[in-house]
Amino acid sequence: MSGDFDTVVIGAGIAGLGVAAILSREGGERVLVLDRFPLPGGRLMSFADTPEPGWKVDVGLHMTELGEHSSIHALNARAGVEVSWGPFSETVEFFHEGRFVNIAELVPLSGEERRAFGALLGRIASLTDEEIASWDDRPLSDWLAENVAERALRDLFTCMGMIMTTIPDAADMAAGEVLWIGRENLRKKGQLLTASYPIGGMEALTSGLVKVVEEGGGEVRTGAPVQEVVFEGNRVAAVRVAEAGASPYPAEFRMTPARSIPAGKLVCALPIYQLPEIIDFAEGRSPLPGWWRKRITDIMHEVTCLVGFLLGLSRPVTDKLCFFSALSTPHAGLPFQAFPASNFDPSVAPPGKQLLHTDVVCEYPEASDPFRRRRILEELRRDLEEMFPGIWDKVEWELPYYVAGCDGLARKPGLVGEFKPKLRAPGVSNLFFAGDTYVGRGLAMNGAALSAMLCADIILDKG
């Protein structure tokens, strides 16, 4: 491969593709995007006619906060890509005392409490960035104690905060992030939280960005795992990419030969927990300062993870445009989330059938341990039967899965806002970062999309 690319991007998720598309469209750059997976998209990969014809499945569970008003929509629009959306979710239902109930039924409010709730929403909508940032290192429980006298309102905000952060306890949620997400939803949709689903599945959010990069003379190369970032002094000089089929050894024994690709600028769009795999963190060998390397290693596993089932059902279990949740499931004892994607976009399932995304949220040590992961799946199977009685009689196929870092860094105090790792590498002039584990706010993919736009602005000297 020639060294004619202006920028190399590692990672073809929404952040990497977003940076690449903006640099291509607004900066006229030729960009090379490298990714280890066989398809672009990262945690937003979609697979058509899988596992059977007529179905289209995504990796994991994704609804998009704010839909057409979201950062991910703005990113695509900035790249000149049009995305169509299904309807917005109409309600959130929580599993409580053996059945799903509307959040209004779960947390009933008196007339006085409703008025107090309206006033509280108005205060959140008017918060400034500075006021929100002052709560980034404090828990939501503190904010509720200082600002919400009514117990029912505190319970309601805890439920909504759990959906925003996938953390069940308000004492562990960063108040600043909950307030920022709530403010943006109130300003743009007039509700505390609402979500939609892209027509065509999650691929619809990334496929257009791939075309923008390629039409600008760049390339999105999949099946190209990066082994190492090569430094010369305080600059990135190249990346080393593994050569496919260069060794007869099985993967467990293989040290794959690699070739170097020059990098005038490098954007690393991998999550922070993967950085030590491609950047040498050894003292005396890394050009990155020790304080930065320590910060990364201290927080790299502060991520939430998903373990779940993607289910193809012969008959629907619900006709609602709804997001299902639970603070804690009866058997797994973990936060639960689910939504029927085909209710929002019928094209992802055959007529009369239903695609149902389900999972529970756990910490990295649980999801990364194969034995604990399998036990969680067994317990989730029992949970689903209790939540949706008779569901397993309707299952045509099931895809168990797990995802590490489903929301980037866990939205805990001191891990959001400006406390997240910055987008420009300290001490290395041509190394940048983008993604949901770096500076950028919003739920999951929206945080990654905003990060991508901010990173591109820094490179283009717009921010």
Q: Rounded to an integer, what distance in angstroms lies between the CA atom of residue 452 and that of residue 449?
A: 5
Q: Rounded to an integer, what distance in angstroms lies between the CA atom of residue 351 and that of residue 356?
A: 14
Q: Rounded to an integer, what distance in angstroms lies between the CA atom of residue 463 and that of residue 458?
A: 5
Q: Can you tell me which residue has the tokens 């927080």?
A: 299
Cis check for the bond before 287: say yes or no (omega within 30 of 0): no
Q: What pLDDT does residue 2 have? A: 45
At what angle are helices 151-165 and 140-147 packed, to 10 degrees? 150
CATH architecture observed for domain 303-409: Alpha-Beta Complex (3.90)
423 contacts 458 by C-beta, under 8 angstroms: yes
Q: Rounded to an integer, what distance in angstroms lies between the CA atom of residue 355 and that of residue 358?
A: 10
Where along the chain do its domains lie? 7-45+204-300+412-459, 113-189, 303-409
Label residues 271-284 b or e (16+ Cβ within 10 Å = b).
bbbbbeebbbeeee
Helix (H) or strand (E) holding 239: strand 235-242
The reported pTM is 0.95
Show pLDDT as tens, one digit a residue, over the chain (463 residues). Answer: 445 899 999 999 999 999 999 999 999 999 999 999 999 999 999 999 999 999 999 988 888 999 999 999 999 999 999 999 999 999 899 999 999 999 888 888 899 999 999 999 999 999 999 999 999 999 999 999 999 999 989 988 998 998 899 888 999 999 999 999 999 999 999 999 999 999 999 999 999 999 999 999 999 999 999 999 999 999 999 999 988 766 777 777 877 788 999 999 999 999 999 999 999 999 989 999 999 999 999 999 998 888 999 999 999 999 999 999 998 999 999 999 999 999 999 999 999 999 999 999 888 888 889 999 999 999 999 999 999 999 999 999 999 999 888 888 999 999 999 999 999 999 999 999 999 999 999 988 999 999 999 999 999 997 5
- DSSP strand E in 263-415: where? 266-268, 303-313, 322-326, 336-340, 354-363, 395-409
Q: What pLDDT does residue 405 have? A: 82
* CATH code of the region 113-189: 1.10.405
Q: Which homologous superfamily does the CATH classification assign to the domain defined by 7-45+204-300+412-459?
A: FAD/NAD(P)-binding domain (3.50.50.60)
Q: What pLDDT does residue 245 have? A: 67
95 contacts 336 by C-beta, under 8 angstroms: yes
Distance between the two ends of the chain, CA-based, in angstroms?
Answer: 32
- DSSP strand E in 132-188: where? none
Collapse the DSSP code of 399 into the 3-class scheme (helix H, G, I; strand E, B; otherwise coil) and give the result. strand
Distances (CA, A) of 200 to 47, 86, 87, 235: 11, 9, 13, 41
**Close Cβ partners of 376 (under 8 Å, ≥ 6 residues apart):** 307, 332, 334, 360, 362, 366
